[in-house]
Every structure is written in structure tokens, then in C-alpha cells.
């Protein structure tokens, strides 16, 4: 894949992932054009004045709920990275139709526009909360995954391919607990939901580089899952504020004790590689199954979960991951 010839559109381009993806693209891959598609003119202005003013950048105001605007934005586009979403669990629970309009109908609009405009590749971002979801956010992301995978059937005979990347919590991203713990540290007391809680963790840059790698390898229909470490919420709290008192406040509505990235039922059609899993469509005739000989099938009953993960972050590992946020305890926009 020759990145220097690509015209790339990033939905949600002013968000945590979008900004880091664009930064990496500009510094290392030098695409022909990068289109930042988002609905917030203030965030676009802030990106420009903070240094995102390269000649290859275009700022396009629009909402994924508007399919006509997406079609206009995708004119001449080769690759779409779909990162736009409503992702705050409490906000999605309180505003369910808004979450559905953006995360499900918005994803459908991205698919329709990409098919209509002849986009070659579409990579959508998903989350561990889409696996056996217990909240509306996870449910909408599961539906979005299904839409993107199955849309390869609609793309039969065209050049458009759709795939997804699914990973866990991103350190310091919008809504992350890391900036909250850093703020609470000043008062000597950290609020945790349950001492048993575990989560998958990776840095924003790790997530971006994994997405780039999967774009290069995708054929359409895969859900790519990286092998990433787990951490205990109590270890995260100890690494950030070792002297602070921990106050257990109880699991919030729509929250799991542990997260899952590959569940038992989809494991039957999943291939394991050294550093990732590739979830393949179970029975679709259009999927070429080109991954079969590149990895290993998973054993019956396999489950990739944060509590049984063989890879764990030490306290020192956690401190290194949160260090960049020590001087800025605000949530990344």
C-alpha cells in the first residue's frame, strides 16, 4: 500500500484517536490528502492553531448523521477511517436515541456513502464493550461492527472493503479514568468501583499504529483484535497515587467487572497470530479466508478476557503509560 498516493478521510478527526492518527500520518506516511471530518468547528479551529495546518490537511464540517454531507466529503477519497462515535457510557444510557443515531445510523451512512463514492477501504473503530454488551454504548458498537462486516456482501463486484479494529481502554483518552485519578490524588482519596475490576489497556499511539497495520493487511470482513496487557483498577490507582485512600463506590449501571475482546462463540472462527487475533465472518461465502494459513485456530471454549489475560502491566509499566498525563490532568478532547 503506497500511503503517499492515498486520500484519507477520518470521521471524528478532532477526537483523541483522530488527532494522533493524523499526526502519525503527517510525520511518517505523508498521504496525498487528509480530510478531517467532524461537526465541531471550535475543535477544528483549535487543531489548526495548535499546529495541524499542513498543506495536505482539509477541514470538513459535517455530521455522520448526514449521508449527503458524507458523500460530498468522500469525493475522490481512497480510505475512510471511521472514528466518530458517542462513547460516554452514562451519556449514551441517558440519551439512547442520540447514541443510536450517531453510532448505528451514522455508521450506516458512512457505509452507504463509501459504496456510492467508490472508496477502496473503510476501517471502523470498535471496542471491547461491543462483546457481550451490557450497556447501550456497547450495543451500538456491536451493531456497527455487524454493519461493517456484512456490508462486504453489498460491495460484491465493487472495490470497497470494510473491516473493523476492536481494542480496549486507551490511556488518557476522552473519558479515561487516568486524568480523574490524577485530579483526585490532590485530595488524597481515589474513587474506584470494585477492587476486583480489570481492564485491557493500550496507549493512543499503540492503537493508531495497530489500525494502520490492519488497514495495510485487511481484505474486508475481518475484526482485528490486538494482544494487549490487562491491569487491575487497584494497581492503576496505586501507580498514580500510592499514598491515597481507596474509596469503593460500587459498579455503575452498564459497567462490567471484566472486559472481553474475543468471546467463546466467535472464537470458533478466529485465527490467532503472534500479536493479534483475526475474527473472521463465520459462514459468509464472500469471505476468502485468506487468514487460515497465516495463524492458528483457537481451542474450543477460548475466551480472551481481561481477568484471564496472560499479559499484565506491572506498577512500573503503568507509571510509564500514565507519565505523559501527569502534567495535564484534563481529559483529552
Contacts of 13 (CB under 8 A, 6+ apart): 19, 22, 35, 36, 37, 38, 83
Closest CA to 269 of 227, 222, 321, 202: 222
129 is known as an active-site residue: yes
Which one of 121, 129, 141, 256 is the catalytic residue? 129
Phi, psi (degrees; rounded to nearest 5) at 316: -65, -40
**Residue whose grid cell is 487460515:** 292
Q: Which residues pair with 81 in a beta bridge?
A: 10, 123
Contacts of 209 (CB under 8 A, 6+ apart): 24
Which SS3 state, helix, strand or coil, does residue 280 take?
A: coil
Q: Are 134 and 93 in contact (CB under 8 A)?
A: no
Q: Are 190 and 245 in contact (CB under 8 A)?
A: yes
Q: Are 17 and 173 in contact (CB under 8 A)?
A: yes
Closest CA to 228 of 265, 277, 286, 289: 277
**From CA 180, how far away is CA 244, in angstroms rounded?**
13
Which SS3 state, helix, strand or coil, does residue 81 take?
A: strand
Output the CA angle 240-242-248, nearest 5 degrees.
85
Which residues are catalytic, by number?
129
Amino acid at each position: 500500500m503506497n500511503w503517499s498516493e492515498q486520500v484519507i478521510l477520518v470521521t471524528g478527526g478532532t477526537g483523541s484517536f483522530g488527532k494522533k492518527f493524523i499526526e502519525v500520518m503527517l510525520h511518517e506516511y505523508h498521504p496525498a490528502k487528509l480530510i478531517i471530518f467532524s461537526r465541531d468547528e471550535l475543535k477544528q479551529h483549535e487543531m489548526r492553531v495548535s499546529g495541524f495546518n499542513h498543506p495536505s490537511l482539509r477541514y470538513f464540517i459535517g455530521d455522520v448523521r448526514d449521508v449527503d454531507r458524507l458523500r460530498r466529503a468522500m469525493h475522490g477519497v481512497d480510505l475512510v477511517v471511521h472514528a466518530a462515535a458517542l462513547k460516554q457510557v452514562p451519556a449514551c444510557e441517558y440519551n439512547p436515541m442520540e447514541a443510536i443515531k450517531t453510532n448505528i445510523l451514522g455508521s450506516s451512512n458512512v457505509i452507504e456513502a463509501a459504496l456510492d463514492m467508490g472508496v477502496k477501504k473503510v476501517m471502523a473503530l470498535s471496542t471491547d464493550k461491543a462483546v457481550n454488551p451490557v450497556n447501550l454504548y456497547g450495543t451500538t458498537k456491536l451493531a456497527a461492527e455487524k454493519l461493517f462486516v456484512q456490508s462486504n456482501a453489498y460491495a460484491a463486484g465493487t472495490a470497497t472493503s470494510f473491516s473493523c479494529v476492536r481494542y480496549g481502554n486507551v490511556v488518557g483518552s476522552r473519558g479515561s479514568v487516568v486524568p480523574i485519578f490524577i485530579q483526585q490524588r490532590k485530595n488524597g482519596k481515589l474513587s474506584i468501583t470494585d477492587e476486583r475490576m480489570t481492564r485491557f489497556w493500550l496507549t493512543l499511539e499503540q492503537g493508531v499504529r495497530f489500525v494502520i497495520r490492519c488497514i495495510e493487511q485487511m481484505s474486508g470482513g475481518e475484526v482485528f483484535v490486538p494482544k494487549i496487557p490487562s491491569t487491575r483498577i487497584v494497581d492503576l490507582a496505586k501507580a498514580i497515587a500510592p499514598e491515597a485512600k481507596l474509596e469503593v463506590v460500587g459498579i455503575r449501571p452498564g459497567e462490567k467487572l471484566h472486559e472481553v475482546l474475543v468471546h467463546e462463540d466467535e472464537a470458533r472462527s478466529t485465527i490467532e497470530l503472534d500479536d493479534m487475533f483475526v475474527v473472521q465472518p463465520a459462514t459468509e461465502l464472500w469471505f476468502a479466508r485468506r487468514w487460515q494459513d497465516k495463524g492458528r485456530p483457537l481451542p474450543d471454549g477460548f475466551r480472551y478476557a481481561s481477568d484471564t489475560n496472560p499479559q499484565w502491566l506491572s506498577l512500573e509499566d503503568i507509571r510509564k503509560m500514565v507519565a505523559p498525563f501527569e502534567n495535564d490532568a484534563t481529559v483529552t478532547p
